A and B are shown apart, each in its own frame.
Chain A
Amino acid sequence: MALKMVKGSIDRMFDKNLQDLVRGIRNHKEDEAKYISQCIDEIKQELKQDNIAVKANAVCKLTYLQMLGYDISWAAFNIVEVMSASKFTFKRIGYLAASQCFHEGTDVIMLTTNQIRKDLSSPSQYDTGVALTGLSCFVTPDLARDLANDIMTLMSHTKPYIRKKAVLIMYKVFLKYPESLRPAFPRLKEKLEDPDPGVQSAAVNVICELARRNPKNYLSLAPLFFKLMTSSTNNWVLIKIIKLFGALTPLEPRLGKKLIEPLTNLIHSTSAMSLLYECVNTVIAVLISLSSGMPNHSASIQLCVQKLRILIEDSDQNLKYLGLLAMSKILKTHPKSVQTHKDLILQCLDDKDESIRLRALDLLYGMVSKKNLMEIVKKLMLHVDKAEGTTYRDELLTKIIDICSQSNYQYITNFEWYISILVELTRLEGTRHGHLIAAQMLDVAIRVKAIRAFAVSQMAMLLDNAHLLAGNTQRNGICEVLYAAAWICGEFSEHLQEPRQTLEAMLKPKVATLPGHIQAVYVQNAVKLYASVLQQKEDSGEKQGAEEVTQLLIDRLPQFIQSADLEVQERASCILQLIKYIQKLQSKDVPVAEEVTALFAGELNPVAPKAQKKVPVPDGLDLDVWINEPPSESESEDEKPQTIFREEEHRHTKQRRTEVDEAELARRREARKQEQANNPFYIKSSPSPQKGYQDSSGVEHIPVVQIDLSVPLKVPGVPLSDQYLKLEEERRQKQKIEKQKKKKKQKKEKRGKQRRHDSLHTESDEDITPAQQVDIITEEMPENALPSDEDEKDPNDPYKALDIDLDRPLAENEKLPVQKHRASENQKTPEEETPSAEQKSKKPSKKAKKEKEKKKKEKKKSKDKESKKHKKSSPALINEEREEEEEDSVTASATAPKEPPAAESKEESEKPPTDFQTSDLDFWLSTSPAPTKSQLLVGFKKAEAIAVCSESAVSTVASEPEEAKQEEGENEKEETKPSKHKKKKHKKEKEEKKSKKKKQQQQSDEETVETPESVQNGTLDDETLPPMSSYCLLAESSYIKMMYDVQGNLQDGSQVVVSVIFENKCNSYLKSMEFNVLDSLNTKLIRPEGSSVHDGIAVPFQLPPEISNEARFVFTVQSIVMPQKLKGTLTFIVKTDDGSSHEKLDFKLHFNCTSYLISTPCYSDAFAKLLESGELKVSSAKVDGVSIPFQHLLAKICFHHHFSVVERVNSCASMYSRSIQGHHVCLLVKMGEKSVSVDAKCSDPTLLGNVLDEIKQTLTEKC
Chain B
Amino acid sequence: MFVNCFFPSYYLQSEDTQQQIIRETFHLVSKRDENVCNFLEGGMLIGGSDNKLIYRHYATLYFVFCVDSSESELGILDLIQVFVETLDKCFENVCELDLIFHVDKVHNILAEMVMGGMVLETNMNEIVTQIDAQNKLEKSEAGIAGAPARAVSAVKNMNLPEIPRNINIGDISIKVPNLPSFK
Contacts and interface: CB of A to CB of B under 8 A. Distances in A.
Interface of A: 11-20, 22-24, 26-28, 42, 45, 60, 63-64, 66-71, 87-89, 92-93, 96, 99-101, 103-104, 124, 126, 129-130, 132-133, 136-139, 161, 164-165, 168-169, 171-172, 197-198, 201-202, 205-206, 208-209, 212, 235-236, 239, 243, 273-274, 277-278, 317-318, 320-322, 352-356, 358
Contacts of B101: 18-19, 22-23
Nearest to A316: B37
B74 A42 contact: no
Nearest to A72: B15
A66 B22 CA distance: 13
Given A126-B134, A274-B78, A318-B77, A14 B180 contact: yes
A64 B15 CA distance: 12
A136 B116 contact: yes
A134 to B, nearest CB: 9
A171 B118 contact: yes
B123 A322 contact: no
Nearest to B130: A161
Contacts of A104: 12
21 contacts: A13-B148, A15-B180, A23-B101, A27-B164, A89-B137, A89-B138, A96-B108, A126-B134, A136-B116, A137-B116, A165-B120, A198-B121, A202-B120, A205-B119, A209-B118, A236-B122, A239-B72, A274-B78, A278-B72, A318-B73, A354-B36
B141 A169 contact: no
B contact residues, range: 35 or more
Nearest to A38: B178
B180 A42 contact: yes
Contacts of A13: 148-149, 152
B94 interface: no
A198 B74 CA distance: 20
Contacts of B118: 136, 168, 171, 205-206, 209
B75 A274 contact: yes
Given A27-B164, A88-B141, A277-B72, A355 B41 contact: yes
B88 interface: no
Given A19-B153, A236-B122, A358-B41, A28 B166 contact: yes
B116 A18 contact: no
Contacts of B165: 24, 27-28
Contacts of A42: 178, 180-181
A96 B6 CA distance: 14
B9 to A, nearest CB: 10
B152 to A, nearest CB: 5
Contact of A133 (B75, B78, B115, B160): B115
B115 A168 contact: yes
A13 B176 CA distance: 18
B13 to A, nearest CB: 9
Contact of A101 (B11, B116, B133): B11
Contacts of A92: 108, 134, 138
Contact of A239 (B19, B75, B117, B148): B75
A103 B12 CA distance: 6
A71 B15 contact: yes
Given A136-B115, A164-B121, A239-B72, 4 more contacts: A42-B180, A165-B115, A239-B75, A277-B73
B72 A274 contact: yes
Contacts of A206: 118
A318 B73 CA distance: 9
A273 B75 CA distance: 9
Contacts of B149: 12-13
A206 B41 CA distance: 25
B36 A352 contact: yes
A70 B36 contact: no
**Nearest 8 A-B pairs (CB), nearest first?**
A136-B116, A274-B74, A317-B37, A353-B36, A69-B19, A14-B179, A321-B37, A239-B72
Nearest to B126: A198
Interface in B71-127: 72-75, 77-78, 100-104, 107-108, 111, 115-123, 126
Contacts of B130: 129, 161
A321 B77 CA distance: 14
Contacts of B179: 11, 14
A64 B133 CA distance: 24
A959 B40 CA distance: 64
Contact of B157 (A19, A45, A161, A320): A19
Interface in B1-58: 11-12, 14-16, 18-19, 32-33, 35-41
Contacts of B181: 42
Contacts of B108: 92, 96
A201 B16 CA distance: 36
B170 interface: no
Contacts of B153: 17, 19
B82 to A, nearest CB: 10
B70 interface: yes
B72 A243 contact: yes
Given A20-B156, A63-B104, A133-B111, A317 B35 contact: yes
A64 B103 contact: yes
A355 B134 contact: no
A71 B16 CA distance: 9
B121 A355 contact: no
A721 B126 CA distance: 88
Contact of B74 (A63, A70, A277): A277
Contact of A172 (B16, B70, B77, B116): B116
Contacts of B133: 126
B115 to A, nearest CB: 5
A168 B36 CA distance: 34
Contacts of B161: 23
A8 B30 CA distance: 46
Interface string B168-183: 0000000000111100
Contacts of A353: 32-33, 36-37
B104 A60 contact: yes
Nearest to B100: A22
With most chain B CB atoms within 10 A of its CB, the pick from A132, A202, A318 is A318
Contacts of A239: 72, 75
B131 to A, nearest CB: 10
Nearest to A235: B75
Given A320-B37, A352-B36, A69 B16 contact: yes
A1060 B152 CA distance: 63
Contacts of A66: 15
A350 B38 CA distance: 18
A168 B74 contact: no
A133 B78 CA distance: 22
A212 B161 CA distance: 51
Nearest to A198: B121
Nearest to A7: B183
Interface string B129-158: 010011001100110000011001100110
